[in-house]
Amino acid sequence: MTPQTPVFCSIVPPHLLEHLAHSSNPAVAEAARRTLIADASARTFRILPLPGTAPTLAPAEAGKPHRTIYDCERRTDLPGTKVRGEGDAATGDATVNRAYAGLGATFDLFLNAFGHNSIDGAGLPLLASVHYDEKYGNAFWNGEQMVFGDGDDEIFLDFTLPVDVIGHELAHGFTQHSANLEYFSQSGALNESVSDVFGSLVKQYALGQSAEAADWLIGEGLFHPNVEGTALRSMKAPGTAYDDDILGKDPQPGHMDDYVRTGRDNGGVHINSGIPNHAFYLAATELGGNSWERAGQIWYDVMTGGTLTPEARFSEFAAATVAAARARYGDGEEIQAVLKAWSAVGVPTD
Amino acid sequence: MRIRVRRTGGFAGIERSAEVEVSDREWESLATAVLDEGESDVRGVPDGFSYEITIDGVTVRCCDPRLSEAQRALVTRVLKEGA
């Protein structure tokens, strides 16, 4: 097998993954293979078929992403110059290759876990621009594509480093094409939370991690070494991801009692997302096993079910997860886990 | 001339502000250009930065990625050089 593009280089270097893929411990080998596969093209996917652990693949024709990576060359004209298309060999630019692999990992989660062909369910081509602007410490979804900065060399490193950040941005496209939650106040915090949920699931699926094994962090490895913090957000323990002299403390609440009322950041969409984030974490860990299989499926069903309004508040979303759990799994442990999770974060479900 | 920039939102949701007190021509022409352009489309995109540029008490809002050249030049410079 040829050396792989450094995909999750912030997590495990590829040479180590190659080694781990041949481990005598089946769980370790499987996780390493998953990570390598997530980085690879459809060709490699056939070379290394999964031993029946992932959900059944959709038909081959629907199972191919259509990725294009552009280089902004530190300017702000979008999309920039095309540097890697679908099926093209890796380039000499690790940022380009990480973006390409992250798009593939996101595509794989949506297709394999939910049977959703790309982020719109209809095979939408996935576009990403890297090296946006100079010392740009951000990444965003502009309604049509993903845009990544190289980091400001002070607080943030390259935004393509954590695969959950790539998944997060693409999930904004998923939301736009499904429930289309308005990017303001509670519906905006739900929009943000859904991106964190699916971003985290992209990482968990790629690494073959169960709910118990996952770190539930968003943007782990993105902070410059000078910053006191492990990640941007923690779904497991909102408010604990960083505590730094310059940045201050992670402001996320994990309960409605601490909901932050503010006009900034579109009504605190990146702050109050901690509440639904924590509810998802609680439901997923209560159910155990792979988070994308039941908790993820319920959240996916809510987003694609057509019952949410674009202005949905937390309670409307919570009630929709209860209905979705009942519709798919009946009156079993799934609905109980969802009810318990929302109750624990102080969001009513009726 | 006092120019203040407040940047909110972004993937991290971390706010940043900076202010400069300037009197040279280059700064003034940039600031005047921003004031003349005024506000256009202030609807942001998911995870995009939002900016408030306040020039001698007059505030202009703008959002990534739809900044004008003058807006981008000014916010970049104030956030880099300001305190």
Mean pLDDT for A299-324 is 98
Which residue of chain A comes nearest to B65, CA vs CA?
A: A142
pLDDT digits (tens, 9 = 90+) for A92-111: 999 999 999 999 999 999 99
Where helices occur in A55-184 by DSSP H, the ranges are: 94-114, 163-177
Residue A296 has, within 13 A of its CA and on its CB side, a CA count of 28
Q: What confidence score (pLDDT) does residue A1 get?
A: 38
Q: List C-alpha distances in Å: A51 to A16, A31, A33, A141, B60.
A: 21, 12, 10, 35, 57
Backbone angles phi, psi at A319, to 5 degrees: -60, -35
Q: What confidence score (pLDDT) does residue B42 get?
A: 75
Answer whether A264 sits within 8 Å of B46, measured CB to CB. Answer: no
Q: What confidence score (pLDDT) does residue B83 get?
A: 85
pLDDT interval class at A26 (50, 70, 90): low
What CATH fold (topology level) applies to the domain A55-177? Elastase; domain 1 (3.10.170)
Identify the helix (H) or strand (E) that includes residue A301.
helix A295-304
Answer whether A142 sits within 8 Å of B72, measured CB to CB. Answer: no
Compute the distance between CA of residue A34 and CA of residue B67 in angstroms, rounded to an integer.
41
Backbone angles phi, psi at A89, to 5 degrees: -65, 160
**Which option is the CATH number for A185-344: 2.60.120.260, 1.10.390.10, 3.40.718.10, 2.40.50.100?**
1.10.390.10
A172 is catalytic: no
Inform me whether the pLDDT recorded for A39 exceeds 70: no
pLDDT interval class at A342 (50, 70, 90): very high
Q: What confidence score (pLDDT) does residue A106 get?
A: 98
A169 is catalytic: yes
Residues of A in contact with B76 (CB under 8 A): 134
Answer whether B50 sits within 8 Å of A266, measured CB to CB. Answer: yes
User: Would you say B82 and B5 are in contact if contact means Cβ atoms under 8 Å apart?
Assistant: yes
Catalytic residue among A116, A131, A169, A334: A169
> Tokens for A178?
């499904």
Mean pLDDT for A125-139 is 97
Q: Which residue has the higher pLDDT, A155 or A36?
A: A155
ipTM of the complex: 0.92
Compute the distance between CA of residue B45 and CA of residue B66 in angstroms, rounded to an integer.
9
Answer whether B65 sits within 8 Å of A78, measured CB to CB. Answer: yes
Residue A256 has, within 13 A of its CA and on its CB side, a CA count of 14
- Where in chain A are the domains? 55-177, 185-344
pLDDT digits (tens, 9 = 90+) for A265-282: 999 999 999 999 999 999
Inform me whether the pLDDT recorded for A19 exceeds 50: no
Mean pLDDT for A217-231 is 97
Chains A and B: how many Cβ contacts under 8 Å? 74
Answer whether A270 sits within 8 Å of B15, measured CB to CB. Answer: no
Q: What confidence score (pLDDT) does residue A61 get?
A: 53
Q: For residue B47, give the nearest of A140, A251, A271 by CB distance.
A: A140
Q: What confidence score (pLDDT) does residue A40 get?
A: 36
> Tokens for A109?
């989660």
